[in-house]
Structure 1
Amino acid sequence: MALITISGFPSSGKSRRAHQIKAHLESRMQEPSYSGPRLKVSIISDDELNIDRSVYGDGRLEKPARAALFTAMQRRMGQDTILVVDTMNYIKGFRYQMYCAAREMKVRVCTVYVVATPDDCKEWNASRDDGKQYPPDILDNLIHRYEEPSSMVRWDSPLLTVPWTDDDVPVDDIWKAVTEGTVKPPNAGTQAVPKAPTDALRTLENTATAMVSAIMAEQAASQLSGGPITLALSPTLRPRITLPPRNVTLSELQRLKRQFVTVHKKAITLGTIEKGQVDWSEESVADKFAAYVEGNLRP
């Protein structure tokens, strides 16, 4: 349904805002005037995934921690869920990665920027008594490295800013974003490429070979020079093909078969850019080969 990305300095109050958002959204869905689908509101955070604050001081540890967060986000995101990602999300490239995943799942997106001054964040971090403090050097480094969200880029939009002086979040704007916002289509680069079945190459080779033999047999049996003919490959597979007004030689057909197989083998092994499901059945291959022969035989 929707992905809400929380972003801000460490110890800026992001978790408090995430729980405010969750409480407000759940309350809205309990109102008598609400007639939409019943949705789950879920929060995913470093604490839930047991990611220690110290990993942000070592790039070798931070990278797998972000990967674990991204995997958990993908697993939890869905049409029946409003997912709030309660982490710093301080790297714009990571926010873009989450945005692309949301588009692939066809859910709405929203970014909530929790604003606080560095001095306030340091003071709040020092006063924590829950054992979840950031080491001072890591805190300073994260504040320095923070990449602020921008409403000018699509992966941070719509962007809702919550200053540290506000007691609550802009629930009306958040509600509108997650229930009425535009669901953007997936990027072309994120869409799964249709794959051919495992026996497609065998079907391609065998069907083209059978058609070459059938064309030569039909020419020899009918003594016709060109025109439309029906090839009896099987009781259910009887493709039609129109030949030029002359005898077609075996070498010509073998050359066209090799070219045809080579072209389509690439589509099988590397995938295809065609939209929708690709049909690699015998009937489809036979029709394609017939059209290929008709278009490439000289009159």
Structure 2
Amino acid sequence: MPMIVISGLPASGKTTRAKALLKYFTGRGKKVHLISENVSIANAGFPKNEYFADSQKEKQVRSDIKSEALRLLNKEDVVIVDGGNYIKGYRYELFCATKAARSTQCTLFCGIQEARAWQLNQERSDADVVLTGSEEQVGTSNVPYTREIFDALCMRYEEPHGNCRWDSPLFVVFPDDSLDFEAIYGALYESKPLPPNQSTQNPPLSATNYLFELDKLTQQIVGDVLAARKIGNTGPVPVKDSQVKVEVPAAINAIQLNRLRRQFLNYSKLHHATTSTLDKVPQLFVQFLNSNCNE
């Protein structure tokens, strides 16, 4: 799912921009999921200022938001993460998740001067209490920050930069600017997703299952070769469900074949991260046997 990560100081217009993006992409026929920090805070049962004053509560909600974003990731729909997202390490985690899903991402930075942000914050009028009701009713975007919380959030805000790969492509918009919807759409749908790193990919099998299947496959290949020798077939032995053939001299006995099999298993254990695709095992093992038996 193409992801838009919105970031900015308190009262910088993040929720307004998120709603505008929701309307635009819906109008383009896209399914859009809006994940709101304000809604998540209220749904977690925390008053807004109390939440930002407690780092443990912040970690809990950030984790919930990240989990929701990962659950919704696919290659077509849009997920908008509306929140301060002031920690660059957290934005990097979202970037890695998007990259692992082979999707695209961009960052929208709502720029504003602190003095103007405080002025806009003072114009908010909702009480800082936990409400009950639907998601639209429990949002806390119109709840003002206290001066202490506002200053603390501004102080620890880590501004996104376009030269950081996890913030790129970066779109910057100030309160009086118009959003460049077409450029954002192009960044999400007209550019190729970054290839995932090996560290962000899940192995096809767990190590235990992989090695068990590897042992079984190599045993079967050795067994086929020995069975062919038993009936007098000294030529190449085809491997079941594969295009390769075992070409080992007739003088190679069961002890030698099994010793080579154990060598291959030991090698595979050491290089499990790069050879853990089982459909390649027969070809790799046959190449190993052919090269070592015909030296």
- Give the TM-score taking structure 1 as reference length: 0.75
Partner SS for 1:128: coil
Match of 2:68 among 57, 67, 72: 72
Alignment match, 2:138: none
Q: Does 1:152 align with 2:153?
A: no
Matched, 1:137 2:127: no
Equivalence for 1:45: 36
C-alpha distance in 1 between matches for 2:245 and 2:186: 58
Equivalent residue letter for 2:6: I
- Distance apart, 1:72 and its partner CA: 0.8
1:88 is matched with 84
- Aligned partner of 2:99 in structure 1 is 103
Contact 1:8-1:88 at 8 Å conserved across structures: yes
Matched residue, 1:35: none
Q: Say whether 1:259 aligns with 2:250.
A: no
Q: For 1:112, what is the secondary structure of its paired residue?
A: strand
Indicate how the Cα distance of structure 1 residues 208 and 74 shifts in structure 2: closer, same or farther if over 3 A, else same.
same
Q: RMSD in angstroms over aligned alpha carbons?
A: 3.4
Q: More deviation in 88-97 or 105-114?
A: 105-114
- The answer to whether the 8 Å contact 1:3/1:85 transfers is yes
Task: Name stretches of at least 5 consecutive residues in structure 1 with no aligned partner.
Answer: 30-37
Larger radius of gyration, structure 1 or 2?
Answer: 1
SS of the residue corresponding to residue 5 of structure 2 reads strand
Contact 1:228–1:240, Cα closer than 8 Å, also in 2: no
Query: 1:229-257: CA deviations, max 9, x gaps?
Result: 549x99x99x8543447x44554334223
Q: 1:14 is matched with which residue?
A: 14
1:126 and 2:137 are equivalent in the alignment: no
Q: One-letter code of the match for 1:256?
A: L
Per-residue deviation, residues 59-111 of structure 1 (Å, max 9, x unmatched): 22222221111111122233332222110011112112212222233333221
Partner of 2:140: none
Please state if 1:117 is matched with 2:99.
no
- Contact 2:237–2:245 under 8 Å retained in 1: yes
> For 1:211-222, what aligned pairs fall within 5 Å after superposition?
213-214=226-227, 218=230, 222=232
**Deviation larger for 289-298 or 70-79:** 289-298
Q: 1:188-215, CA deviations, whole angstroms, 9 ceiling, x for partnerless residues?
A: 3222222275651551464266357547
One-letter amino acid of the structure 2 residue matched with residue 163 of structure 1: F
Aligned residue identity for 1:95: R
**1:209–1:185: structure 2 CA closer, same or farther, 3 Å change rule?**
closer
Which SS does the other structure have where 1:110 is aligned?
A: strand
- CA distance in 2 between counterparts of 1:229 and 1:26 reads 61
Closer, same or farther in 2 for the Cα pair 1:181/1:207, shift >3 Å?
closer
Give the conservation status (yes or no) of the 8 Å contact 1:151–1:159.
yes
Q: How does 1:286-297 map to 2 (within 5 A)?
A: 288-297=284-293
Query: What percentage of aligned pairs have identical amino acids?
Result: 29
In the alignment, does 2:185 pair up with 1:194? no
Q: Distance in 2 between matches of 1:102 and 1:18?
A: 19
Mean CA deviation greater in 123-132 or 154-163 = 123-132
